[in-house]
């Protein structure tokens, strides 16, 4: 396999990128100068050092960002989780970082988050391998036992995989919700079926948030 084929194979692994588009990326890179290529590969090499994952909400955030605080076990909290002005009795569960960023940009939510990472595919037999369910339940247990948690909002896109994930989470959360009287809500139908939270505009999201049930 030559370099064009190998790189094409890598780009094909990116979300939503097919082999033809992947090959276009490779030819695009071939037309760039060395300065561009060096900066590009340097950024990729540094990515995992520069970006950290929050130990509470599991979002990615720049290690240099203000607000990163060391906790007792020396792992870090992001600027949202370490902000004392956020409401810590309400937790919003989102599928991915881009959803969280969009909700932050809209700006009417002041609680905390948990990022699942991905949605559970339909008919998946081992959902626990797809999402951070153990870490999620541990966090909920800890917050609930400390009397902090009053509501969990499942803010997932209403596509088949999102609905599948909501169903799974509801089942897993039921015992904790009953034990600690935590309200579990999902976003209202203002978010039409298939709407990606990542792209929803502020009015749509605000309505869905207000009409959560």
Q: Does 173 bind Zn ion (CB under 5 A)?
A: no
Tokens of 54: 């929050």
Binder among 8, 52, 54, 205 for Zn ion (CB under 5 A): 54
Tokens of 196: 């990606």
- Judge whether 61 and 47 are in contact, CB under 8 Å: no
Q: Are strands 76-77 and 151-154 parallel, antiparallel or unpaired?
A: unpaired
Stretch in the footprint of Zn ion (CB under 5 A) among 53-61, 102-110, 136-144, 173-181: 53-61
Closer residue to Zn ion (CB): 78 or 169: 78
Q: 3-class SS at 76?
A: strand
User: Would the CA dihedral through 195, 200, 202, 203 be positive or negative?
Assistant: negative
Residue in the shown chain whose Cβ atom is closest to Zn ion: 54
> Interaction with Zn ion in 63-82: which residues (CB under 5 A)?
78, 81
- Judge whether 170 and 184 are in contact, CB under 8 Å: yes
Binder among 8, 56, 102, 165 for Zn ion (CB under 5 A): 56
| Shortest reach from residue 76's CB to Zn ion, in Å | 9
Site string for Zn ion, 77-106 (x = CB under 5 A): -x--x-------------------------
Closer residue to Zn ion (CB): 65 or 145: 65
| Shortest reach from residue 77's CB to Zn ion, in Å | 6
Concatenated DSSP letters of 88-137: TTEEEEESSHHHHHHHHHH----SEEEE-SSPPPTT-S-GGGTS-HHHHH
- Judge whether 205 and 197 are in contact, CB under 8 Å: yes
Counting DSSP H helices and E strands in the chain, the numbers are 7, 8
Binding residues for Zn ion, rule CB under 5 A, total 5
Burial of residue 147, with CB atoms counted within 10 A of its CB: 0-12 exposed, 13-18 middle, 19 or more buried: exposed
Closer residue to Zn ion (CB): 57 or 90: 57
Binder among 7, 8, 52, 57 for Zn ion (CB under 5 A): 57
Closer residue to Zn ion (CB): 56 or 200: 56
Closer residue to Zn ion (CB): 56 or 164: 56
**Interface contacts to Zn ion, rule CB under 5 A:** 54, 56-57, 78, 81
């Amino acid at each position: 396999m030559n370099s064009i084929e190998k790189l094409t194979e890598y780009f094909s692994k990116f979300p939503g990128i097919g082999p033809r588009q992947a090959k276009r990326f490779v030819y695009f890179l071939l037309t760039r100068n060395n300065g561009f290529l060096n900066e590009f590969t340097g950024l990729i090499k540094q990515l995992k050092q520069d970006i950290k994952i929050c130990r509470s909400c599991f979002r990615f955030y720049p290690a240099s960002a203000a607000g990163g605080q060391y906790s007792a076990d020396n792992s870090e909290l992001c600027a949202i989780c370490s902000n004392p002005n956020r409401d810590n009795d309400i937790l919003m569960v989102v599928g991915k970082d881009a959803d969280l960023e969009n909700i932050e940009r809209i700006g009417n939510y002041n609680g905390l988050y948990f990022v699942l990472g991905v949605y559970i595919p339909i008919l998946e037999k081992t959902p626990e391998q797809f999402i951070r369910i153990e870490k999620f339940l541990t966090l909920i247990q800890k917050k609930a036992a400390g009397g902090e948690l009053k509501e969990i909002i499942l803010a997932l896109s209403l596509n088949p995989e999102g609905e599948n994930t909501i169903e799974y989470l509801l089942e897993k959360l039921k015992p904790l919700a009953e034990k600690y009287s935590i309200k579990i809500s999902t976003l209202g139908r203002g978010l039409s079926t298939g709407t990606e939270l990542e792209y929803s505009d502020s009015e749509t999201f605000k309505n869905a948030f207000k009409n959560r049930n």
